[in-house]
Amino acid sequence: MSRRNSTASTRRQFRVATLVLTLAASLMVGQLAMAAEPAVTSLRLGALFPQSGDLAFGAADALQGVQIAVELFNETNEHGITVELVTADAPNPAGGAAGVRQLVTANRADVIIGTYASAIASAAAPAAERLGIPYVESTAFAEGITRNTGNVIRTTISSGALGAAAMDFVLTGLAERLEVAEADMRVALVYTDDEFGVSIADAALARLNESPATLVLQESYPAATTRDLSSVLLRLGQTEPHAVVHIAQVPDATLLWRQAQQLDVYMPAVVGAGGGYGQAQFAAALGPNVNGIFNVVPPTSGSINTEALSPEAQELLRELRERVAERGWNQGNYTDWAFMGAWVFLDEILPRANSLSVDDLMAAAAEVEVDALDSITGFGFEFIPAGEPNSGQNLRAIPVVQQWQEGTLDVVYPEELAVSEFINVPLPTWGERTEQIGD
């Protein structure tokens, strides 16, 4: 190669390098500019939760979590984004779809956040999709919410993960503690025949089918009209399972236990999967008999070691707790999930979005990575990109196993997240329980 050619080549390389550096610098400036001034500067957020009807009591916690997240974001965000919260009642699935229309047409909501109940979310999210409105699901678990729609960003766990985790715990951690080999485990599955119950049960069954363990009983019942579970219990008594996975709301979960005591049906271990088994009202109804019952749920600040969280997450939790206390509200599981879901949407997804369209918000969500220690709930955030199966689902929403111990729910499994040891495995018989209560 001649010196002339070599010089020309060097010049070309220099020009290319200069161009690349200029472009890179431009991009960096662009990025900085975007960070300082996001494309979206205002948002009208529609909160869709049951505010009347049976579900209102739990949903109130969720709505309050969203309200505090919006309030805190408006006070503290450095992006200059302002969020206005509008609300609508969604007491049932039809009310959910109507609530979406109200929020979008009358209240001009850009994005909807909900919903507390799977059945309502399953009606509301497609209704929002038909109107081209993004939907943030902070608290409902049913698998179909993200599987059947393309507009949902779900910050919490899916029923598939919940059901699979419940059964996985039964077949591994619980079996080991019961000193029963997985292949010898006899498992019963009892669930409500609504969207919530069926979707979790399907996932639990799928996990069980991968195992050599035996399904000894599969029973569903209508949650809204069941007044008697004696037939379920007599069948349970006959099949003698090592463990029962029960997916229920508070009234039917309480009924099962009261009738089990009346009929002296012994269940060595019972694992609830969300719903009623995680509610204080369930524990209040059972009294000391609640100790030892398991519940599989996404973790919350109340069930993890919050001192292990990052300083930023601890500060966020402190703000939440103070604001809940100031108003005399209750900080339940749904407060935490809804607050953190709304916070991640506002603080992580919204500033990254080029617009409030479904596509841009889904794209922004796909860029988000929040570590578990940066979240008050103890689970992180990473969303499945658009176009992939179950798009919008938070992959890092992983459940933990809690156990009722002295009236509170403590994480006992997996071991790395446990704050307490197992108790009452296997559960005492009813005769032993009577003695304990009498003592």
Partner 1 sequence: MQLALQILVNGLLLGGLYALLAVGLTLIFGVLRVVNFAHAEFMMLGMFGVYWVWHLTGLDPYLAVLVVTPLVLLFGIVCDRLIIQRTIGAPEVTVVFATLGLSIFLQNAALTLWTADIRSVTTAYSGMVLTPFGLRVSVPMLISFTVAMLAAAGLWLVLTRTLYGKAIQAVAQNREAAALMGIDVRRIYLWTFSVAVAAAGAMGGLIAPLFTVYPRVGISYIVTVFVIVVLGGLGSVPGAVLAALLIGLIEAAAGFLFGAAWAELSYFLIFLAVLIARPQGFFGRRGAEVFAGR
Question: Based on CB atoms, which residue is closest to partner 1, 5 or 225?
Answer: 225
Residue 239 in the binding site for partner 1 (CB under 8 A): no
Shortest Å, Cβ 333 to partner 1 = 15
Residue 250 in the binding site for partner 1 (CB under 8 A): yes
Q: Which of residues 178-217 bind partner 1 (CB under 8 A)?
A: 193
Residue 281 in the binding site for partner 1 (CB under 8 A): yes
Q: What is the SS3 assignment for the chain?
A: CCHHHHHHHHHHHHHHHHHHHHHHHHHHHHHHHHHHCCCCCEEEEEEEECCCCCCHHHHHHHHHHHHHHHHHHHHHCCCCCEEEEEEEECCCHHHHHHHHHHHHHHCCCCEEEECCCHHHHHHHHHHHHHCCCCEEECCCCCCHHHHCCCCEEECCCCHHHHHHHHHHHHHHHHHHHHCCCHHHCEEEEEEECCHHHHHHHHHHHHHHHCCCCEEEEEEEECCCCCCCCHHHHHHHHHHCCCEEEEECCHHHHHHHHHHHHHHCCCCCCEEEECHHHHCHHHHHHHHHHHCCCEEEECCCCCCCCHHHCCHHHHHHHHHHHHHHHHCCCCCCHHHHHHHHHHHHHHHHHHHHCCCCCHHHHHHHHHCCCECHHHCCCCCCECECCCCCCCCCEECCCCCEEEEEECCEEEEEECHHHCCCCCCCCCCCCHHHHHHHHHC
Shortest Å, Cβ 260 to partner 1 = 9
Considering only 30, 132, 212, 222, the residue that binds partner 1 (CB under 8 A) is 222
| x-or-dash string of contact with partner 1, 256-275, rule CB under 8 A | --xx-xxxx-----------
Pairing of strands 270-273, 400-405: unpaired
Q: Which of residues 56-95 bind partner 1 (CB under 8 A)?
A: 56-57
Question: Based on CB atoms, which residue is closest to partner 1, 80 or 287?
Answer: 287
Q: How far apart are CA 348 and CA 351, in angstroms?
A: 6
Question: Based on CB atoms, which residue is closest to partner 1, 61 or 319?
Answer: 61
Residue 28 in the binding site for partner 1 (CB under 8 A): no
Residue 232 in the binding site for partner 1 (CB under 8 A): yes
Question: Based on CB atoms, which residue is closest to partner 1, 17 or 437?
Answer: 437
| x-or-dash string of contact with partner 1, 324-363, rule CB under 8 A | ----------------------------------------
Q: Which of 417, 297, 358 is nearest to 149 (CA)?
A: 358
Residue 321 in the binding site for partner 1 (CB under 8 A): no
Question: Based on CB atoms, which residue is closest to partner 1, 55 or 297?
Answer: 55
Residue 82: is the preceding peptide bond cis (ω within 30°)? no
Question: Based on CB atoms, which residue is closest to partner 1, 257 or 383?
Answer: 257
Considering only 62, 97, 164, 229, the residue that binds partner 1 (CB under 8 A) is 229
Region binding partner 1 by CB under 8 A among candidate stretches 246-254, 355-363, 385-393, 398-406: 246-254
Shortest Å, Cβ 184 to partner 1 = 25
Q: How many residues bind partner 1 (CB under 8 A)?
A: 39
Q: Which of residues 392-431 bind partner 1 (CB under 8 A)?
A: 430
Considering only 214, 230, 357, 420, the residue that binds partner 1 (CB under 8 A) is 230
Question: Based on CB atoms, which residue is closest to partner 1, 126 or 278?
Answer: 278
Residue 55 in the binding site for partner 1 (CB under 8 A): yes
Question: Based on CB atoms, which residue is closest to partner 1, 54 or 360?
Answer: 54
Report the interface residues with partner 1, using CB under 8 A. 52-57, 193, 219-222, 224-232, 234-235, 238, 250-251, 254-255, 258-259, 261-264, 279, 281, 284-285, 287, 430
